[in-house]
Amino acid sequence: MDDDQPILDIGRRGSRITVRVGAPYSPGSADPDQRLWRHADIVVEAHPFTGTIPTVLTAQDVEEYRALALAFTTEQRDRVVIGGHRAAEIVLQRHDGTVEVSVTPSGDDPWPLLRFLVFPG
């Protein structure tokens, strides 16, 4: 897996969400599963609000993020929830071509929450 690899990228400058997978979280760990964990950044551009939620994703998380992002973008699913529980949560919901994005750093605590729209075009 390449560093800084986008596994989700929806929208365009000023109205966009991107999830990028980075370097290994614990490459020297004795636990082989933990060696597969990756640093990740959830980058939100919702003009005038912009920011990054740093997180760590397991190998299973990365595959889930990829699968749900693909299901939303290619299968035209109307709603997907990526992540959640104690981890960051991204909800993508389609409304007649417009995508509503909701992001929170912890799925079990809905605040703070950033919600914005990505318009087609």
Query: Quick check: helix, strand or coil at residue 3?
Result: coil
Q: How far is CA 93 from CA 1, 10, 23, 56, 81, in A?
A: 28, 12, 30, 24, 9
Residue 77 has a pLDDT of 84
For the chain, first and last CA: distance in Å?
A: 31
**pTM exceeds 0.75, yes or no:** yes
pLDDT digits 0-9 by tens, 88-98: 999 999 998 89
Residue 10 buriedness (CB in 10 A; 0-12 / 13-18 / 19+):
middle
To the nearest whole number, what is the mean pLDDT of the chain? Answer: 88
Dist. CA 121–CA 114, nearest whole Å? 22
9 has pLDDT over 50: yes
For the chain, the domain total comes to 1
pLDDT digits 0-9 by tens, 20-63: 999 888 888 888 888 888 999 999 999 999 999 999 998 899 99
pLDDT higher at 114 or 77: 114
Residue 3 has a pLDDT of 58
1 has pLDDT over 50: no
Backbone angles phi, psi at 41, to 5 degrees: -125, 130
Dist. CA 5–CA 76, nearest whole Å? 23
Residue 111: domain span: 5-118
Dist. CA 82–CA 75, nearest whole Å? 16
